[in-house]
Structure 1
Amino acid sequence: MALTSDDYADLDARLTEHDAYLKSRYPGERPGRQPVHTVYVPADRLDGFRDWGAAALRAMDEFAFPWEEEQIRRKLAEEPIEDLRVDFEDGYGVRDDEQEDAAVRRAARILRDGPLPPFLGLRIKSLEAPTRHRAIRTLDLFLDSYQDTGFVVTLPKVSGPAQVTAMVALLDKLGAPIGFEIQVELPSAILSADGVATVAQLITAAEGRCTGLHYGTYDYSAAAGVAAAYQAMDHPAADYAKAVMQVAAAQTGVRLSDGSTNILPVGSRDDVHGAWQLHHRLVRRSLERGFYQGWDLHPAQLPTRYAATYSFFRDGRDAAETRLRRYVDRQESGIADEPATARALAAYLLRGLDCGALTGAGFSRRELMTFL
């Protein structure tokens, strides 16, 4: 029996609500540049963040950086930090209200007084009961002191959707048209007591205001019971948490960030080279797994951040351009790429252009954008 126009209309009617849900909940990847890292600087040491590039260059010279290249040096001279996070949480610690109030005002003044990285944010304390009021006070005072909404708020140690809902209500109450990042630092942010994948609920509870999910390596590992000596970005517990984050955030416009390594490039030449080798490997590993951003905690980590990132995109550039060209021209090859793969190839090349790894591509930016 042939279907009538009424049959088509009936099916459309049945799926109208679901179509609207898909459009709102899964709008696709957020356009624009994503920073390759977030640098966390304790609020009481913020005045030194503009010296990070020079400090990184000195480390390269002093310890003979093994991936030496001029492009890394230019990056460190011109734009060493892509995303700065003024930290009032773990990096800052617990102070009395008078001290933290003064630190908030001073941080706002430092940010107003000079050039800033392309991306900027503020990490407040968590909304758990012991630190809740201090977190709210810091955010309120920063908004009043800085008087600019060109930043995001990082919300740490989120344990459930109620905290995210409260954050949305708080920002509405403050009249702040800004987004916030959710830090996944507790197992309860991945799997709730009733067996539900909490992280997906966190994104929903944010009502479109969540800009990113940031994995917290050491808080999460400790809460999961991993011994201190084995807490690391590549531990199986970390991989599981990040895999769940990745699935929950896919096509939502919420970006992912891996965590950090606490093995810093300081000390003897052997110590520095060991830390550089580890950081380079971990950054590359994250990129290969679809985490295009991570945390950096020390100026001497910047050279390995850029060395690993640039090599990741350069190593795959020729193959990606060849596959995409064959797809566009409908050429036969040993790989049967589909439209979704073509989008992934274009997104890869765009990321390479955005981060400065690729300074010219076989496809223009406009051509690559047509695939997304």
Structure 2
Amino acid sequence: MDEALLAELDRRLADADAALTTLYPGDRGVRQPIHTVYVPADRFTSGTVGEWAEQARAVLGEHGRSAEELATVLDLPAGHAVEVFDRVHAKLEREPIEDLRIDFEDGYGNRPDEQEDKAAVSAGQALAELINAGAAPPYHGLRIKSLEAPSRRRGVQTLTLFVSELAEAGALTVGFVITLAKVTSVDQISAMVVVLDAVEQTNGVASGSLKFEIQVETPQAILGSDGATPLPAMIRAGAGRVTGLHYGTYDYSASLGIAAAYQSMEHPVADHAKDVMQLAAAGTGVFVCDGSTNVLPIGSREQVHAAWRLHQRLVRRSLERGIYQGWDMHPAQLPSRYVATYLFYREGLATAAARLRAYVEGGDSGYLDEPATAAALAGFVLRGLECGALDTAELDKLIGVDTAGLARLARRPLRS
């Protein structure tokens, strides 16, 4: 091949090569939580996480008293019922909440400034207490009101007060994240970056350390007036601070005129929005998170079981579509979240492990797996390991590859 031609190709494609590397850096090498728990700011205290865990264990003890009973209620395969039941109980003891969001938006509402100021300070202090005691979920933060004109000053004020409390207590961690609600324009993302720059400077926090999620719950976030989706531009405008795109089930559905009875995570408008979100986030290292169901496992035994079955099905549906995170709004949703998630990984382990082992060792699994599929298989196993559905001893036995080897297969940095 003519070296001059190759040099010309390098010159012509230099900008495209640089853009591909910059815009699509791949996996960030950090754990994605399987859910985000929302707690209204006025109900949050340093005891909230423990209370959620206690309530989740209580409802499971009352309505899913044994592996056999839970298997009947949630139609668990006999071969996985006991192991899922035991692992869910262990999870509710060890790490009941993976990601906590203290809500100053819809879950809190519009209140006098003096009242929200006090709530922001109080909630910030309570979270700092949890963090410094080593009792906070690995991911934690707050949701602020949108940067639309009516709520802009209020959202920024709450953020400033909250972060100041954490910074003063030495409790700003790498797991801290902010959710920006009801985003409608790329300009709001650019403005958020300006806000975070100022908050960091005021509190003596390292530049670029504050991260945020974009809540996708308006039509304008999915389709701009020019007929294109603004989500890729929003991610770019975040200047490396955007960590997630979170779907808002009910605001988005309502804004498209969907009747309340049909607003759901599985409505066609929801699937379309999340498809766009997945496309926009692919290769960027930005996580995609599904929304919530507002059907709560409360009331009679029959009502709890029905709500669990619905939640389990919706969680499984998201997992099968490659969306590995969703919202939980009530402690009684934790059992069905973990049951659905653990069963997903337990059921898929044997086949995924066999295919990975054959890929690594050059054997025959009955599948002709290419590198991209091997990366997906390794990613599946790593996610199961991180949430507690799987353990390293199983992986050593079934695959013969350690966590570092799985990370390399998954084309990602080692995860924390």
Structure 1 residue 335, shift from structure 2 partner = 2.2
Relative to the length of structure 2, the TM-score reads 0.87
- Structure ranking higher on relative contact order (CA contacts 8 Å, 6+ apart): 2
CA offsets per residue over residues 279-327 of structure 1, 9 Å max, x none? 0000011001011010000000000111000010111111111111111
Structure 1 residue 331, shift from structure 2 partner = 2.7
Q: Could you say which residue in structure 1 is the equivalent of 2:248?
A: 216
Match of 1:122 among 132, 135, 142: 142
Q: Could you say which residue in structure 2 is the equivalent of 1:180?
A: 212
* More displaced stretch, 320-329 vs 243-252: 320-329
> Does the 8 A contact of 1:126 with 1:156 survive in 2?
yes
Determine whether 1:87 maps to 2:103.
Answer: yes
Counterpart-to-counterpart distance in 2, 1:112 and 1:201: 34
Structure 1 residue 94, shift from structure 2 partner = 0.7
Q: Could you say which residue in structure 1 is the equivalent of 2:272?
A: 240
The residue matched to 1:283 in structure 2 has which SS? helix
Counterpart-to-counterpart distance in 1, 2:233 and 2:299: 43
What amino acid does structure 1 have at the position aligned with 2:357? R
Counterpart-to-counterpart distance in 1, 2:365 and 2:92: 41
Structure 1 residue 328, shift from structure 2 partner = 1.7
Structure 1 residue 364, shift from structure 2 partner = 1.4
Relative to the length of structure 1, the TM-score reads 0.97
CA RMSD of aligned residues (A): 1.2
* More displaced stretch, 334-343 vs 18-27: 334-343
What amino acid does structure 1 have at the position aligned with 2:110? V
What amino acid does structure 1 have at the position aligned with 2:330? H
CA offsets per residue over residues 257-297 of structure 1, 9 Å max, x none? 10000000001111111100000000011001011010000
CA offsets per residue over residues 59-106 of structure 1, 9 Å max, x none? 012223624712111111121011000100000111111100100111
Q: Could you say which residue in structure 2 is the equivalent of 1:323?
A: 355
Q: Could you say which residue in structure 2 is the equivalent of 1:259?
A: 291
The residue matched to 1:370 in structure 2 has which SS? helix
CA offsets per residue over residues 231-258 of structure 1, 9 Å max, x none? 0000011000000000110010000110
Counterpart-to-counterpart distance in 1, 2:338 and 2:310: 14
What amino acid does structure 2 have at the position aligned with 1:157? K
What amino acid does structure 2 have at the position aligned with 1:141? L
Q: Could you say which residue in structure 1 is the equivalent of 2:75?
A: none
Q: How does 1:1-372 map to 2 (within 5 A)?
A: 3-47=1-45, 48-64=48-64, 66-67=70-71, 69-114=85-130, 115-147=135-167, 148-150=171-173, 151-175=176-200, 177-359=209-391, 360-361=394-395, 362=399, 363-371=401-409, 372=411
> Does the 8 A contact of 2:328 with 2:334 survive in 1?
yes
Structure 1 residue 123, shift from structure 2 partner = 0.4
The residue matched to 1:72 in structure 2 has which SS? helix
The residue matched to 2:404 in structure 1 has which SS? helix
> Does the 8 A contact of 2:217 with 2:248 survive in 1?
yes
User: May I ask how many residue pairs the two structures share in their alignment?
Assistant: 370
> Does the 8 A contact of 1:41 with 1:49 survive in 2?
no
Counterpart-to-counterpart distance in 1, 2:243 and 2:27: 11
Structure 1 residue 4, shift from structure 2 partner = 2.1
Structure 1 residue 202, shift from structure 2 partner = 1.2
> Does the 8 A contact of 1:88 with 1:122 survive in 2?
yes
Counterpart-to-counterpart distance in 1, 2:64 and 2:15: 60
Structure 1 residue 333, shift from structure 2 partner = 4.9
Counterpart-to-counterpart distance in 1, 2:64 and 2:376: 36
Counterpart-to-counterpart distance in 2, 1:236 and 1:293: 19
What amino acid does structure 2 have at the position aligned with 1:52? W
Q: Could you say which residue in structure 1 is the equivalent of 2:414?
A: none
Structure 1 residue 332, shift from structure 2 partner = 4.1
The residue matched to 2:44 in structure 1 has which SS? helix
Any gaps of 5 or more consecutive residues in structure 2? 72-80, 412-416
Structure 1 residue 49, shift from structure 2 partner = 3.2
Counterpart-to-counterpart distance in 2, 1:112 and 1:11: 54
Counterpart-to-counterpart distance in 2, 1:329 and 1:60: 43
The residue matched to 2:339 in structure 1 has which SS? helix
Counterpart-to-counterpart distance in 1, 2:255 and 2:111: 24
Structure 1 residue 111, shift from structure 2 partner = 1.3
What amino acid does structure 1 have at the position aligned with 2:172? T
CA offsets per residue over residues 309-365 of structure 1, 9 Å max, x none? 001011111111111111122234542211101111111111111111011312311
